[in-house]
Amino acid sequence: MVRSTLYLLALVPLAAAKPLVSRRWDSDFEVKHAWNDVPKGWKCHGPAPPDHVLDMRIALKQDRLDISSPHWRYGQHLSKEDAEALVAPHPDSVELVDAWLAANGVPLTHVERLNGGSWLSILVTVEQASRMMNSTYSIYEHDTTSEYIVRTTSYSLPSVLHAHVGVITPTTYFGTMRGMRATSFLQPQIRPLDNDIETAPKLTGPTSLATVPSSCATTITPACLRALYNTTSYVPQATDVNRLGVAGYLEEFANDADLQTFFEKFRTDAAGATFQHVQVNGGENNQNDPGVEANLDIQYTEGMSFPTPNVYYSTGGSPPFTPDSNTPSNTNEPYLDWLNFILAQSSVPQTFTTSYGDDEQTVPSDYATEVCNLFGQLGARGSSIMFSSGDDGVGAGNCLSNDGTNTERFQPNFPASCPFVTTVGATTRINPEVATSFSGGGFSNYFAQPSYQSSAVSAFLTKLGSTNAGLFNTSGRAYPDVAAQGEGFQVVVGGRIESVAGTSASSPTFAGVIALLNDFRLSQGKPGLGFLNPALYSTLVDGFNDITSGSNPGCGTNGFSAGAGWDPVTGLGTPDFGKLQALIG
């Protein structure tokens, strides 16, 4: 808040002394992004106060880093400095945007330049922002939470800036902390296990797979997953350098005492192991308020990767808008804050998992593109980044498009649809594993299909024929890439064991396996795996158990079916650590 106060003092006289706006900047506007309607779930409450202060971020387009056709391969990672040099904007972009800001009364000394200068952070008033972007900011109220945010349903930029500016926030992204739902749900119908003393002893040793007990078909513990995915006999060696990060949002707190209870019951050899809490952008760590999502994530990343050090990031959002307050607000765009935080670190964890997402169509495409590029940059820094694929199959509800045509379309999820993350769908049962019916899968309408997956995807599309034709984008980035178990996870929450389901369970599980593979590489003096996807679809393709039955219905259809090879329900399948270890060499 110190920073805000300083800026506010500076802003007041500027707002009063009406800044000169040259003709060059107040005409020739072209729409950058606009919605047809106020996004679903929100209603307009009234105009935003002109003196309300917005914490504005501007992404400048990258000049050099074409992350979409990576010339780098796994094992060739960029330092923070090299990555920042690559994403640095062209000097013309800096000059033009600076001139535009100055013409609108924004003192350049107050512009904070992040990530090699590719992101600008400034405080502006609603009055300034409206003039800069020929937009109308209003206060919007959420239908169910009654929270207020300040947004606009469209924004424009002088046409000369379009080639230089990727996205400006806060503008048309209405997603809030609550909108970004976690993808896990309780399963009260499954009776939780008291502990693992029955199953765990049977699951150790190299012959474990033959002995996966039938209980793993309904209740999952780390012992089940370690046996199923063939990690039981691997002993991590690189625990001095390897780290696994869990990104948490929505005031979901990972509880230390619950983790110990979990270890006592389900992974006794890990008793006493802890994890690091990192608080980002005002994120809290309330140990009296354990979150189901947070506990699920940390209990299963540690349960799979012990003794690899784990880190839990609790990322806050700015408080929602409170009328009559001059507190800058409305960042509420937590992926950006987390990404800017993590990219500013000189060393980053080799593996990440995130279990949050939302319908792609509710995220403006310019915002989604810039956030996705930042995940690409993090991959280029050497991180393998997992996301859960979503829990609504091909889409929930009536699946109408929001482009004004109200057409029925499958609803892909973002960030699952970003090609720079590895997206994890869900399976259940054993011998064989089958797809869960909720496993999110589909095709992006924003991101083109990367070449690394095109042959796997076209083989699927050929078999599919005309089924679901017109409901999805055959040229889009297809997901999930891979899968892991996603039902009946035994999670300790507030001292009690609950059964939890969701691709929220699958992503930490898969990330745990990847953390062990990274350990193996690091222990041999090699770099970690980094961005995984190109390798998954080529050199590593035989390291997966193909899942060939089950489907993911939604949008009033039967969805897609799992079958031999890649499919948009379970991707390439579930991991076999032993085989993957041999393939990564």
Ligand X SMILES: *[C@@H]1O[C@H](CO)[C@@H](O)[C@H](O)[C@H]1NC(C)=O
Binding-site residues from annotation: 546-547, 565, 567
Minimum distance from CB of 27 to ligand X (Å)? Answer: 5
**394: closest CA among 350, 339, 439?**
439
Q: What are phi and psi of 204, to 5 degrees?
A: -95, 160
User: Which residues, including other chains, have CB under 8 Å from residue 5's CB and lie 6 or more apart?
Assistant: none
Minimum distance from CB of 119 to ligand X (Å)? Answer: 25
Q: Which is nearer to ligand X, 183 or 468 (CB)?
A: 468
Q: What are phi and psi of 139, to 5 degrees?
A: -90, 130
Q: Which is nearer to ligand X, 120 or 133 (CB)?
A: 133
Q: What are phi and psi of 19, to 5 degrees?
A: -70, 150
Minimum distance from CB of 305 to ligand X (Å)? Answer: 17
Is the Cβ–Cβ distance between 362 and 160 less than 8 Å?
no
Angle separating helix axes 334-343 and 365-380, nearest 10 degrees? 20
Give whole-number Cα distances, 552 to 111, 220, 389, 441, in Å. Answer: 47, 21, 12, 7
Residue position matching structure tokens 């987390």: 338
Q: Does 476 bind ligand X (CB under 6 A)?
A: yes
Tokens of 432: 């064989």
Number of residues located near ligand X, criterion CB under 6 A? 13
Contact with ligand X (CB under 6 A): which of 8, 10, 19, 29? Answer: 29
Q: Which is nearer to ligand X, 254 or 478 (CB)?
A: 478
User: Which of the stretches 69-77, 175-183, 309-317, 573-581 binds ligand X when contact is defined by CB under 6 A?
Assistant: 573-581
Minimum distance from CB of 151 to ligand X (Å)? Answer: 15
Binding-site residues from annotation for Ca(2+): 546-547, 565, 567
Contact with ligand X (CB under 6 A): which of 62, 104, 128, 134? Answer: 134
Angle (CA) 49-51-56 rounded to 5° is 100
Integer Cα distance of 131 and 498 in angstroms: 52
Q: What are phi and psi of 290, to 5 degrees?
A: -70, 140
Minimum distance from CB of 226 to ligand X (Å)? Answer: 11
Residue in the shown chain whose Cβ atom is closest to ligand X: 578
Integer Cα distance of 304 and 246 in angstroms: 13
Integer Cα distance of 577 and 579 in angstroms: 5
User: Which residues, including other chains, have CB under 8 Å from residue 301's CB and lie 6 or more apart?
Assistant: 244, 246, 310, 353, 508, 511, 512, 515
User: Which of the stretches 77-85, 94-102, 174-182, 575-583 binds ligand X when contact is defined by CB under 6 A?
Assistant: 575-583
Q: Which residues are catalytic?
A: 293, 297, 504
Site string for ligand X, 160-199 (x = CB under 6 A): ----------------------------------------
Give whole-number Cα distances, 67 to 376, 379, 472, in Å. Answer: 6, 10, 25
| HSE, side-chain direction, 13 A CA sphere, residue 193 | 25
| Subset of 249-308 contacting ligand X (CB under 6 A) | none
User: Which of the stretches 57-65, 93-101, 300-308, 469-477 binds ligand X when contact is defined by CB under 6 A?
Assistant: 469-477
User: Which residues, including other chains, have CB under 8 Å from residue 464's CB and lie 6 or more apart?
Assistant: 560
Sign of CA dihedral 541, 350, 429, 388: negative
Contact with ligand X (CB under 6 A): which of 6, 20, 27, 145? Answer: 27
Q: Does 104 bind ligand X (CB under 6 A)?
A: no
**518: closest CA among 383, 401, 355?**
383
Minimum distance from CB of 211 to ligand X (Å)? Answer: 12
| Subset of 439-458 contacting ligand X (CB under 6 A) | 445, 448
Q: Which residues pair with 414 in a beta bridge?
A: 358
Q: Does 538 bind ligand X (CB under 6 A)?
A: no
User: Which of the stretches 174-182, 389-397, 461-469, 473-481 binds ligand X when contact is defined by CB under 6 A?
Assistant: 473-481
User: Which of the stretches 167-175, 427-435, 483-491, 574-582 binds ligand X when contact is defined by CB under 6 A?
Assistant: 574-582
Is the Cβ–Cβ distance between 510 and 502 less than 8 Å?
no
Is the Cβ–Cβ distance between 155 and 295 less than 8 Å?
no
Contact with ligand X (CB under 6 A): which of 345, 475, 524, 538? Answer: 475
Q: Does 578 bind ligand X (CB under 6 A)?
A: yes
Minimum distance from CB of 445 to ligand X (Å)? Answer: 3
Minimum distance from CB of 408 to ligand X (Å)? Answer: 13
Integer Cα distance of 480 and 387 in angstroms: 9
The one-letter amino acid code at 23 reads R
Q: Which residues pair with 46 in a beta bridge?
A: 139
Minimum distance from CB of 154 to ligand X (Å)? Answer: 7
Integer Cα distance of 544 and 554 in angstroms: 26
How far, rounded to the nearest angstrom, does the alpha carbon of residue 347 sit from its chain's CA centroid?
20
Contact with ligand X (CB under 6 A): which of 473, 506, 557, 574? Answer: 473
Site string for ligand X, 195-214 (x = CB under 6 A): --------------x-----
Minimum distance from CB of 231 to ligand X (Å)? Answer: 9
DSSP string, 13-53: HHHHS-----TTTSS-EEEEEE-SSSPTTEEEEEEPPTT-E
Is the Cβ–Cβ distance between 468 and 407 less than 8 Å?
no
Alpha helices in 499-584 (DSSP H): 503-523, 533-536, 577-584
Q: Does 461 bind ligand X (CB under 6 A)?
A: no
Q: Which is nearer to ligand X, 113 or 579 (CB)?
A: 579
Residues of the shown chain interacting with ligand X in the complex, contacts defined by CB under 6 A? 27, 29, 134, 209, 230, 445, 448, 473, 475-476, 576, 578-579
